[in-house]
Amino acid sequence: MGRGKIEIKRIENTTTRQVTFSKRRGGLFKKTKELSVLCDAQIGLIIFSSTGKMWDWCTEPFRMEQIIEKYQRSTGARIPERDHPREELFHDMAMLRQETLRLELGIQRYLGEDMGCLQYEDLSKLEQELENSVAKVRNRQNELLQQQMENLRRKIHDEEQRAVLEFQKATVEASKPVHVMDHFPFFEEQPAGSILQLASPVLPHLQYPYLQLAQPNIQDSVP
């Protein structure tokens, strides 16, 4: 059973297309070499893949340049070449030099230098451009100043809010009732007499006149 006929059209699958290209490229080079040897033909073969990579082969001992030159003589065609590349390079360099000089002169005029060749109209135009530039600079300065003032205002407001919260917290803490016995939790397990004995050195300002005993007058008792 013979092989089926392959439809000649572009292979859509990238991997399959690359594999087919590699196989058929090798076969093409092999057939080209056989044709050159068997028929004593001078052949030059150049292949560019879809990615731009190049492969070439030519009959030995010739070089590809000799094959192309022979082709041009036979057909009368000439591959267009870039005429006078050095002159074009010098031309491009001269254009760049002129543009650089023009920019340097413009910068000097904005700095107030080299204005001897300017006419009144040129000076008026330069003055207007400078005024416009100064106006843009001042507008930008004002924007930055407003931003800094707004940031400072916001920072002051945050500090004030923080101070108010701290003051309110301190006020709430100060308004809570204070119990003396809360400072002595161990009193809860002590009898009342012990509590008075322990509290007397701690609270020396408390007076208990009703606990003081009357002392006899010694002078009244002497006959």
Banded model confidence at residue 110, pLDDT cuts 50, 70, 90: confident
Peptide bond into 61 cis (omega under 30): yes
3-class secondary-structure state, position 154: helix
d(CA 199, CA 182): 13
Higher pLDDT, residue 5 or 93: 93
CA 79 to chain centre: 49
Report the interhelical angle of 120-175 vs 85-110 (nearest 10°): 70
Q: What is the CATH number of domain 14-79?
A: 3.40.1810.10
- pTM for the predicted model, two decimal places: 0.34
The overall average pLDDT reported for the chain is: 76
Res. 108: pLDDT tops 60: yes
Distance CA 11, CA 9 (A): 6
**Amino acid 223: pLDDT:** 45
Percentage above 70 pLDDT, the chain: 72
**Amino acid in position 162:** R
State what percent of residues in the chain have pLDDT above 90.
16
**Cα–Cα distance, 31 to 8 (Å, whole number):** 20
* Conformation bin of residue 42: beta by default, left when phi > 0, alpha when psi is -120 to 50: beta
- Cβ(133)–Cβ(111) under 8 Å? no
Q: How far apart are CA 45 and CA 62, in angstroms?
A: 12
d(CA 189, CA 192): 10
